[in-house]
Amino acid sequence: MNRLSCRILLCIGMLVLGACAGKGERIDIAIPGITPGGGTASATPRPRIAVLPFEDQRLNQAHLGTRSHLWGGISYFDLPSRSAAKATAQALIDYLNRQGWKAFMARTQGSDGADITIAGTIQSLSVDAKSGFMHTDLTATNALSFQIINHTDESIVREKVSGTGSDRVFWFDQEDAQNLTTDLFETNFKKFLGDLKIE
């Protein structure tokens, strides 16, 4: 009975490990990801905030990152939209609107009647997963810089935020990487809005 049990466990182990072998597939990561609602409404008038598509300054813009499989092979994390610049701007717009602001996407600065224009730069944005025996380690990084222009007096404020996140899971699922990336964006936007006073 012991030999039979060992053989069954060995077969299960081989199936699990075989499932970890990479095929070079694409794993989509949405930006902005799905976040819980519960934004704060404001009774006082808020300025109109135009957000320009971000400038993407990442050294490697081909992928968001890689997943290294246990028995070799690599899969790639990618954006479904293929545009990190527009996706990051939309993520900021969604965040600002959930906080009660009036934010929208703009093509050019000052041509849309906005009170404030935010131009951003993606300095780093990545998510990586590395499979080991009975676990997968995930890491994510996100660094953004902002230029905020107040059109009332044409004053300019510059701000930088960055963050890293990590997680270890037993069985990797695409949502693990998605949630880590979404949480990191939310944390950076919260830092940005916390350091900024908009009047």
What CA dihedral angle connects 6, 12, 16 and 19, to 10 degrees?
Answer: 130
Position 63 scores a pLDDT of: 87
3-class SS at 98? helix
| Numbers of helices and strands, H then E, in the chain | 3, 9
pLDDT exceeding 90 applies to what percent of the chain?
48
| Secondary structure letter of residue 151 according to DSSP | T
Res 20: pLDDT: 44
CA 40 – CA 37 distance, rounded (Å): 9
The tens place of each residue's pLDDT in the chain, 199 residues long, gives 555 444 444 444 443 444 444 556 888 888 877 776 655 555 566 789 999 999 999 988 888 888 988 787 889 999 887 789 999 999 999 999 999 999 999 977 665 788 999 999 999 999 999 988 889 999 999 999 999 999 888 889 999 999 999 999 998 888 899 999 999 999 999 999 887 766 5
Q: Which of 100, 127, 102 is nearest to 182 (CA)?
A: 127
Residue 2 has a pLDDT of 58
pLDDT at residue 122 in the model? 97
- Between the CA atoms of 39, 190, 130 and 7, what dihedral angle is there, to the nearest 10 degrees? -40
User: Nearest CA to 29 among 129, 169, 174, 173?
Assistant: 174
**Exposure class string for 7-39: b at 16+ Cβ within 10 A, else e:** eeeeeeeeeeeeebebeeeebebebbbeeeeee
Side-chain-side CA neighbours of 65 within 13 Å: the count stands at 20
| pLDDT score of 174 | 85
Q: Please list, in sequence order, all residues whose beta carbon lies within 8 angstroms of the beta carbon of residue 42, skipping any fewer than 6 positions away.
A: 100, 101
CB atoms within 10 A of CB 153: 7
pTM: 0.80
